[in-house]
Amino acid sequence: MRLSTPLSGLVLLLVTAGVVSVAPAAEPRLKPVVGFLKIPKGIPVGAASGVDVDSKGQVYLFHRGPRPILCFSADGKLVRSWGDDLIGNAHGLRVDRDDNVWVTDIGHHMVFKFSPKGKVLLSLGQVDKAGTGRDMFDKPTDVAFGPAGEIYVSDGYGNSRVMKFDAKGKYLTSWGKPGTGKSEFDTPHAILVDRKGRVVVGDRENDRVQVFDANGKWLATWNGFAPFGLAEDDKGAIYVADGRANQVLQLDPKSGKVVARWGKEGAAPGQFQLPHMLAVDKQRNLYVVEITGKRLQKLAR
């Protein structure tokens, strides 16, 4: 792990755009936060693939470049960074209820759990070995957590399945196979466990979200968008990073209907270039990372 250098140089612009509402419950607008993060010159930001916010408001950025895991304070100052000697190809990042940091590494076919200081606490998978076994992944994409600390992994680009482990990493069950039917996937790319305990899976190449109970029983399918990333706020609203439409969507958690849309394709503030993952903080501000745009944008209430 390497600590940050003095803050200077490149500013990672965090901005916002107006919202186009399609339902009365939608937020009327988002306000810009300009110059929130400052990145040292020695850390060129690559494709920004993962983001989350911990209980203290610290923002974690996962990107495909030097120092792939970057931690910022709530006011945007770089606190620490790590991962050069471990990460093969950055993908998803989540922070659990204890502020531990989890990442999915599609280069090494691994899931790693870190302490907030960057110490490896748990690893799942076999390094550089893709497979279908209970202890193997094939380009795992995202990770989520159940109420008892259960670990859910969307696996991913190669295996088209969801895997469930206990809090210590012991395999419990899995479900899914390639296809377009119920409980079938074409690139399960994002996953979360919502406040109702439902496992919500972004079935990206099928342009839908599938919803399951905690053990994989199919409950619902929500169609009509490409879910690259998923997040939930403290009121239960679900947000989608639609990398195909270059928009961020807000969904009704009961019906799965889109109730708000933000952004369009472009490099301007509030526009997106392949939004990949997103996160929501306690104030329901949104944080969106972009693969092509190579940036993180903050959309503030």
The yes-or-no verdict on residue 42 having pLDDT over 60 is yes
50-107 tens-digit pLDDT = 999 999 999 999 999 999 999 999 988 999 999 999 999 999 999 999 999 999 999 9
Query: Which own/partner contact pairs does 247-256 have at CB distance under 8 Å and 24+ positions apart?
Result: 247/272, 247/275, 248/272, 248/275, 248/278, 248/286, 248/288, 248/299, 249/225, 250/26, 250/27, 251/209, 251/222, 252/23, 252/25, 253/194, 253/196, 255/222, 256/209, 256/211, 256/220, 256/221, 256/222, 256/223
Q: What is the value of pTM for the model shown?
A: 0.91
What is the domain extent for residue 185?
2-300
Q: What's the domain count of the chain?
A: 1
pLDDT (0 to 100) of residue 227? 99
- CA-based angle 195:197:203, to the nearest 5? 100
Residue 50, exposed/middle/buried by CB under 10 A (0-12, 13-18, 19+)?
buried
**pLDDT: is 77 or 223 the higher one?**
223
Average pLDDT of the segment spanning 256-277: 95
CATH no. for residue 29? 2.120.10.30
Task: List C-alpha distances in Å: 87 to 83, 102, 226, 263.
Answer: 6, 12, 27, 31
What string of DSSP letters covers 153-167? EEE-SSS-EEEEE-T
Q: Does residue 205 sit in helix, strand or coil?
A: helix
Predicted confidence (pLDDT) per residue in 278-291, tens digit:
999 999 999 999 99
- Residue 81 identity: S
Looking at residues 174-184, what average pLDDT do you find? Answer: 98
Sheet bearing 258-262, strands edge to edge: 19-21, 258-262, 247-251, 238-242, 227-232
- Separation of alpha carbons 141 and 179, rounded Å: 18
Q: How many CB atoms lie within 10 A of CB 122?
A: 15
pLDDT given for residue 32 in this prediction: 65
